[in-house]
Structure 1
């Protein structure tokens, strides 16, 4: 017996323990159920997130910044070539002088249009912005758009004061600086404010109609010999440089309504408006090229070709701004 007892002690024998049966408590089961349901809901949200797409304006800040810088650089280049160089002064001034050819009925009509322009621009912008603001409750967007519109017109007036008079380059011209055009800035900024306030599906139409209104204003100032073509082009660039950052802010603060479902979702979102803009650009480009080819060498005598070339420059600047804006804002809007 003693040997058996020693063997048991040497082998560290322990009596078998009764197996424990884990009976689940009700509260533990509830926790597991809640955890499982919470994980399911979380996974459901994460799976839907890619379908909803990114927020409006997200990831496009660099493009808007680049477009704004390009507008500012274009403004500086326009000023330098058409004001500081002999060739630029001659082309710009010749277009202004030859505008007398379209006097008479066209001149009187454009004068009446320009006389009504300030009130017309303010009325269009005020009615559209007020309607969209009240109907859609886009108070933040309205504040940004109106502030940008005021800033663009203020920038034009400040530039007129700061830019020195035209230097003498041997071209017979008025020395007083007239760049940028105030009338064109007013019309273009009003059209841009409406463009920023409307829903993305309305922007293709708003871009085409707004640019047409602004281009008509710019051409009218040329016909009436109020401004040279470079003054009008500079006005478009001023408006673009101010309105682009404002538009990006509107996208970022208006994510709920800045939803773009693609072309064709609405008649205002038809590709027709884009193609009409492209057609106007192509025609204007051909007119500018043909007109300038008629005068390959600068001379002391101006011709009507300079007027048509200057008009084409205005059309190109206006519709190119609309085309670029429609593309950029369509890209930046939240996809529906």
Structure 2
């Protein structure tokens, strides 16, 4: 026990809890996350680019985006034009704040390296690794998977997520995921990218930022501890519940759209594939955001009452 005299000059909040002395969780879960993301990229490419069925679904969603042209398109186009600059401002602004104000410069450099790797990998995969074979579907033959705009938005949000305090990560994950999903959805609305391009970009960011996240935890020091969910408004479980509900709603929408145009239904798709594709973007984005929140909640050391 700590004596009363020793406690006399210590704030009450500090006496209640103290940083735990446990080491950061091993790389196992982060390695699994990286491998799963890589497999997701390969699987997305194989089905939506290498198969006739996948190409048809993906291309149909892109073609049907014309039906939603109008005010939404103009707004989305403006968002896309500003997206690279906005992503840089969000990412670098968050990293500079963490490095200079919070003195988390090691974590900021690692997060920056992870985000940079995601953007470089996206370019390499799109330009030099993945090809788009002809499968009888009328489409532009130039490969567009993964989406560079989506990678920029998602990697910027992920970098800020890594360097913010654990108590704020649940909210930052939700806000950042929403930003990335909006960016990906805008590329579909404006016919810049197919749904699979966006999903692959999310997964590329996951593959690069998972190992970066583990390294950030290893160098985080005392700031990278927390009291668990519910200790602050930003760490509330609501930031897991809301994206889960949004993902479930998107799943329901996607299933309904595809069932309505199932073989034998007699219904010809007008915007069904578009809404199914947009649902896939929402589902994958928020699912990855929830997974990241859970992963860091498990890996970050807990504060514990001081004895």
Out of 231, 250, 263, the residue aligned to residue 216 of structure 2 is 250
SS at match of 1:260: coil
1:189 and 2:161 equivalent?
Answer: no
1:262 and 2:224 equivalent?
Answer: no
Aligned to 2:108: 142
SS at match of 1:256: helix
SS at match of 2:221: coil
Query: How does 1:147-296 map onto structure 2 within 5 Å?
Result: 147-296=113-262
Out of 293, 296, 302, the residue aligned to residue 329 of structure 1 is 296
Structure 1 distance, partners of 2:132, 2:289, is: 30
CA contact (8 A) 2:130 2:145 kept: no
Aligned to 2:22: 54
1:313 and 2:262 equivalent?
Answer: no
Higher mean alpha-carbon deviation, 268-277 vs 209-218, is at 268-277
Structure 2 distance, partners of 1:280, 1:194, is: 23
Q: CA deviation at 1:215?
A: 0.2
4+ residue segments displaced more than 4 Å: none
CA contact (8 A) 1:255 1:334 kept: no
Q: CA deviation at 1:297?
A: 2.6
Query: How does 1:119-130 map onto structure 2 within 5 Å?
Result: 119-130=85-96
- In structure 1, stretches of 5+ residues that fail to align are 1-50
Corresponding residue pairs, total: 284
What TM-score results when the alignment is normalised by the length of structure 2? 0.90
Q: CA deviation at 1:255?
A: 3.3
Q: CA deviation at 1:164?
A: 4.3
Higher mean alpha-carbon deviation, 259-268 vs 237-246, is at 259-268
C-alpha RMSD over aligned residues: 1.6
Aligned to 1:93: 59
CA contact (8 A) 1:74 1:237 kept: yes
Out of 13, 32, 44, the residue aligned to residue 78 of structure 1 is 44
Aligned to 2:71: 105
Structure number with bigger Rg: 1
- In structure 2, stretches of 5+ residues that fail to align are 1-18
Higher mean alpha-carbon deviation, 128-137 vs 221-230, is at 128-137
Offset from partner CA, 1:82-128 (integer Å, 9 cap, x none): 00111100000000000011101111000000011111111111211
